[in-house]
Amino acid sequence: MRAIVIHAAKDLRVEDREAEPVGPGQVAVRIESGGICGSDLHYFNHGGFGAVRLREPMILGHEIAGTVAELGPGVSGLAVGDRVAVNPSRPCRACRFCLKGLPNQCLNMRFYGSAMPMPHIQGGFRERLVCDAVQCVAAARAGTDELALAEPFAVALHAVSRAGALQGRRVLVTGCGPIGALVVAAARLAGAAEVVATDVVDEPLEIVRRLGADRAVNVAAEPAALAPEGAEKGRFGVMFECSGNERALRSGLDAVEPRGTVVQLGLGGDVALPQNVLVAKELALVGSFRFHDEFAQAVSLIDRRRVDLAPMITKRYGLEEAAAAFEHASDRRRAMKVQLAF
């Protein structure tokens, strides 16, 4: 089988790899669609992120969907030919956090396409993937291009769950990369009264309008556009900070009303927080990391047409065009979600 393998920064190759046998409780999935994620781009452009560095060749990819090609012994609930989204998250189910019902905090997590451990955990950008049957969530209507969005949409759904009820609340989303855009869709689905999204370039803002944002503001072009939202101690009930930018977080805190909630998804390193604002307005600042049950929920919502995520997909490339696909995905003025068609 062919696979997309990263060797070092800017050294991406399509290679032949030996297909694994299918064991008990496992299935073989013919991968058809794969979305390029921000972490994939960090490996491609920089050879890693933070202290996580490539130390051996690694198959990339964790936003994947395809068709069941083979069933292992003991598998039920799936059939050859089923279209499935593949959950890349494999918690150990035995550590203290798994036993507490927090599998996204697993101490021994195995997540596709990760260079954190050594040997690295190989990813899903390959023509044939053998995985545990429980990782597969079948769909009846959605195509594999839509199903490959289930993983990042699950991240957004988990973030919304961390915020509490959104029904009737005004919501601010800062940073409209793929996760921020999907948070807009998830917040709208959760009943937010109004969703305002911000970014520093125009192109992603046009996409979030199509995903349900009531207002989409370029704060680089209009730095004072949200100033009125800071009146009377703030007017937003919930803020989702998806950029990882300190200035976005700081300005957003002024716009969140007392006892509002700030959900931090974006990763940008250490930031300074105005303790007086956090304390005086009694704000709740919470983090949101990955997902668990939300993966199946994401597949269900996509498959039942409860949400239309088609505006997310800006271009699809063939397997042999992988390097061009990664270059395109690196330009956020041209790309929201670039997918590979296997």
Q: What is the mean pLDDT of residues 272-279?
A: 91
**Alpha-carbon gap, residue 200 to 206, rounded angstroms:** 12
Is 103 a domain residue? Answer: yes
Angle made by CA atoms 186, 334, 317, in degrees to the nearest 5: 90
Does the pLDDT value for residue 94 go beyond 90? yes
Nearest to 151 by CA among 281, 277, 299, 263: 299
pLDDT tens-digit series, residues 144-161:
999 999 999 999 999 999
* pLDDT, tens digit, 9 for 90 and up, residues 233-252: 999 999 999 999 999 999 99
pLDDT of residue 284: 97
* Residues ≥6 apart with Cβ < 8 Å to 292: 89, 91, 103, 104, 158
For residue 321, what pLDDT band results from cuts at 50, 70 and 90?
very high
**Mean pLDDT, the chain, as a whole number?**
96
pLDDT at 270: 85
pLDDT tens digits, 13-62? 999 999 899 999 999 999 999 999 999 999 999 999 988 999 999 999 99
Per DSSP bridges, beta strands 58-59 and 194-199 are: unpaired
Residue 294 lies in a domain: no
State residue 57's pLDDT score. 98
Q: Are residues 204 and 246 in the same domain?
A: yes
Shared domain for 141 and 201, answered yes or no, is no
Residues 252-274, mean pLDDT to the nearest whole number: 92
In a domain, 292, yes or no: no
* Residue 13 belongs to domain with CATH number: 3.90.180.10
Q: Are 180 and 243 in contact (CB under 8 A)?
A: yes
CATH (domain of 221) = 3.40.50.720
Same domain for 82 and 179, yes or no, is no
Whether residues 80 and 187 share a domain: the answer is no
99 falls within a domain: yes
Contact of 258 with 232, CB cutoff 8 Å:
no
Same domain, 125 and 214: no
State whether 162 and 143 are in the same domain. Answer: no
- Looking at the structure, do residues 94 and 196 belong to the same domain, yes or no? no
Q: Helix axis angle, 150-163 relative to 178-189, nearest 10°?
A: 60
Whether the per-residue pLDDT at 269 is higher than 90: the answer is: no
Per-residue model confidence (pLDDT) at position 271: 86
Confidence (pLDDT) at 78: 98
Do 16 and 124 lie in one domain? The reply is: yes
Residue 248 lies in a domain: yes
Tally of domains in the chain: 2
| Domain of 121, in residue numbers | 2-149+309-341
Would you say residue 313 lies in a domain?
yes
Residue 197 maps to a domain: yes
